[in-house]
A and B are shown apart, each in its own frame.
Chain A
Amino acid sequence: MWQLWRILSSEPYQSKLRSKSPDLHPTQDNRGNYIITAGERVMVKSGNPPTGIVFRDRSFLVVYEKWSKEPDELLRYRYHYQRPDDWFVRYDMHETELPGHPKYHLQSSALGADLRLPTGAVTCENVLEMIVEQFVP
């Protein structure tokens, strides 16, 4: 969480955020893993109001990360970026590969709901960089 706090409290992110201090929520599960979320719900649906990390243009990023404690390792992520016109892009990393679901993949409204393009690993910082460089004026 400190890592995300550090990134979001610096430029160029600060000047592009609507709320300058978005709420990040830590949770832990019954296996000792830590879950970090930004947003009311991880599942984002068309027409949902902005939640999570909200940008000046009211686009928003919902974050889900699951970390193991020992070793301190990222096990699963989902970064869902939603724009006011309902366009979205979502990066996922699964703990295990599923049929039709590459371990690292990307979905986008422009591609359709059934396409999951394989990607490499991304970090939340990579996604934030993409958003502020390519989307938020």
Chain B
Amino acid sequence: MSAPQPQVSPENFNVYRDALDEEDPIVVREALPAREPTHMEAALPPGLARRVVKDAVLLASLTQPMRSRLTVAGKDGAASVDLPLRVDTGAAPGFRIETPDSAGEITFVLDARTDGRGTLRYDVRYIGLPLERALSYARFVRALYWEEGTLSLTRLAPTEVRVDLVGLPLTLDSVGKEEAENRLRLLEALDEVSRMTGTDFVYPTEIDDEDVRNLNHVLKAIHGGWVALHVTDFTTPMGPEGVRNILDVVAEEGEVLRALAMKSEGERAKTFDSWVDLGPSVRYVSGARLATPRSELEEWLASERSEDDSFEVRWTPEDDALVHVFYDEWPKPSLDVARRNIEAFEEEYGMTSEDFRRAWESGEPEVRAIEDGDIWVSFLGAREALGPST
């Protein structure tokens, strides 16, 4: 039987709850943190807390909340957050740097005692935050316990005054680390979807299984343009002509249609509170069994029908066949692919791509003898074609 290509909406497919075929989903529901606000508290090394007390004299003018910047500077770069801070010199013995109550999304409290002990607390209320801000906060948290470096506080006005607070990384328990890592992974996944599709996100109020499933679906679609789904059943809308055709085919060849391909002109996937536009797609299943009783189709045809009427014919995938979704507009040509390969060649052959290309173009025998030198050249060409901003 030839493969008909009816227009079928993605909503006509009933997907299993554990829908994706992937054994390693990109975002795992169970791993996502549920607590809000997120809480991170770390003890400061005694010596450092003592120094903070000493240096904080410089910040004594922060008795009223002032615009300030916390910066983590490490060898791999810097991360910072801006927030209002004040110094409470009355928090004896020692002092406290903290966000005022009105700060809202972040609570930062650094207690440093004169006996050298101290604690640092950093709580974030992520719900409702625009993605970009939530991501910057999550990256800041990660930088606090991940990188070697320094956490410093800069009073931004009226003049800039900077004080190094503590050396990093802070120690954080494994549960806290895992939560922070998982949140960052979720936010980076959303950020990738946002960049690739132009969709705006805010940190969701709730994260349920369907959200995570949809997010993984979207990620798979934009990474590879192909998603395989476990589907219990699906329907295809058919007019009288289509229904007659199905009945004829079933009478001749049985109730299993082979190589069924169905088009969707545009697909939107709900991901948390936003809709992601994935564009046109084709759903393909190698075999599907007619699940609507033939008698029902015959009855529908027997009643008076206009050619504009439509009947939802139900099918079940044969032999648990997956439904494959192929997206016309995904994946996009990827600069990352070129970059990864270029790095691998540079590492393998111990030379920069610039040196390699110069030698290749001048026909130096040693470089020309590199068997996959032409592949290296092609990825350099891809990097040029796609440009640094792709």
Contact = CB atoms under 8 A, between A and B. Distances in A.
Nearest to B371: A101
B385 A22 contact: no
B322 A20 contact: yes
B12 interface: no
B375 A64 contact: yes
Interface residues of B, number: 40
Contacts, number: 108
A98 B360 CA distance: 14
Given A27-B382, A29-B378, A43-B341, A21 B334 contact: no
A125 B278 CA distance: 29
Contacts of B21: 19-21
B87 interface: no
A106 interface: no
Interface stretch (B62-70, B106-114, B192-200, B221-229): B221-229
B1 to A, nearest CB: 16
B386 A27 contact: yes
B96 interface: no
Contacts of B381: 29-31, 33
B331 A26 contact: yes
Contacts of A28: 333, 382, 385-386
A69 interface: no
Contacts of B228: 9, 20-21
Interface in B343-370: 344-345, 348, 368-369
A22 B324 CA distance: 11
B333 A26 contact: yes
Given A19-B23, A28-B333, A30-B382, A41 B340 contact: yes
A21 B386 contact: no
Interface stretch (A10-18, A81-89, A126-134): A10-18
- Most chain B C-beta atoms within 10 Å of own C-beta, residue among A42, A92, A98: A42
A95 interface: yes
Contacts of A22: 224, 226
Contacts of A2: 326
B34 to A, nearest CB: 29
A100 to B, nearest CB: 8
Contacts of B22: 19
A59 interface: no
B140 interface: no
A75 B375 CA distance: 11
B23 A21 contact: no
Contacts of B337: 25, 27, 35, 37
A9 B317 CA distance: 14
- Most chain A C-beta atoms within 10 Å of own C-beta, residue among B23, B333, B378: B378
Contacts of A18: 23
A135 interface: no
Contacts of A33: 378, 381
A136 interface: no
B333 A43 contact: no
A76 interface: yes
- Most chain B C-beta atoms within 10 Å of own C-beta, residue among A14, A22, A26, A41: A41
Contact of B385 (A30, A41, A45, A78): A30
B374 interface: yes
Contact of B220 (A5, A21, A45, A66): A21
A108 B381 CA distance: 29
A21 B375 contact: no
19 contacts: A1-B225, A18-B23, A20-B324, A22-B224, A23-B331, A24-B226, A26-B331, A27-B334, A30-B382, A31-B381, A35-B378, A41-B344, A43-B345, A66-B378, A76-B374, A76-B378, A94-B374, A95-B374, A98-B371
Given A9-B226, A21-B224, 11 more contacts: A2-B326, A5-B226, A9-B284, A9-B324, A11-B286, A22-B224, A26-B334, A27-B333, A28-B385, A35-B379, A76-B374
